[in-house]
Amino acid sequence: MYTTFFAPLLAALLLTGTTIAQTPDWSNATRIEIDLSNFKYTPETIRLRQGQPYLFHFANRSSGGHNFTAKAFFAAATVAPEDSKLILNGKIELDGGKTADIRLIAPGPGSYEVHCSHFMHSALGMTGRIVVE
């Protein structure tokens, strides 16, 4: 009777324990400074390593609003739960002079497009790329 009851219980506990993800150590996250200015991102290309923790620090250096739209990247990355509320429909919106921090784990290798979705901003050069190796 004990074997019949405890064997499945033990198996369930072991399986559950292996699926629990560890919380990343954000204190070791590499900080990436991303400046948004008039029709430009600096840097234009962001290079990351798969599975590594990063802190993206966004700073809008202009007086007008801009955003950082990277739908495929944010969908593939693991974003810290408390930071995910800053990402709406794959973009981070920043009014002039504002900043925001996003902690994330880089997704699998690939190249992800970035642009500002405000009217004509990407046409005027506000585009970039995130490359994960």
**For residue range 102-117, what is the model confidence (pLDDT) as tens digits?**
999 999 999 999 999 9
Per CATH, the architecture of 26-132 is what? Sandwich (2.60)
What does pLDDT average to over the chain? 90
Q: Does the pLDDT at position 81 exceed 60?
A: yes
Two structure tokens written together for 68 = 């950082």
| Structural contact between residues 31 and 57, judged by C-beta atoms closer than 8 angstroms | yes
**Of 41, 51, 57, residue with least CA distance to 118:** 41
What is the reported pLDDT for 16? Answer: 46
Q: Does the pLDDT at position 13 exceed 80?
A: no
Q: Residue 128, Cβ neighbours under 10 Å: how many?
A: 21
Whole-number Å distance between alpha carbons of 79 and 87:
9
Strand extents, DSSP E, the chain: 30-37, 40-42, 45-48, 53-60, 66-69, 78-79, 91-94, 99-105, 110-115, 127-132
Residue 18 — pLDDT band, cuts 50, 70, 90? very low
Whole-number Å distance between alpha carbons of 105 and 26:
10
What is the reported pLDDT for 20? Answer: 47
**pTM, to two decimals:** 0.82
Q: Which run of H or of E encompasses 18?
A: helix 2-19
Q: Does the pLDDT at position 15 exceed 60?
A: no
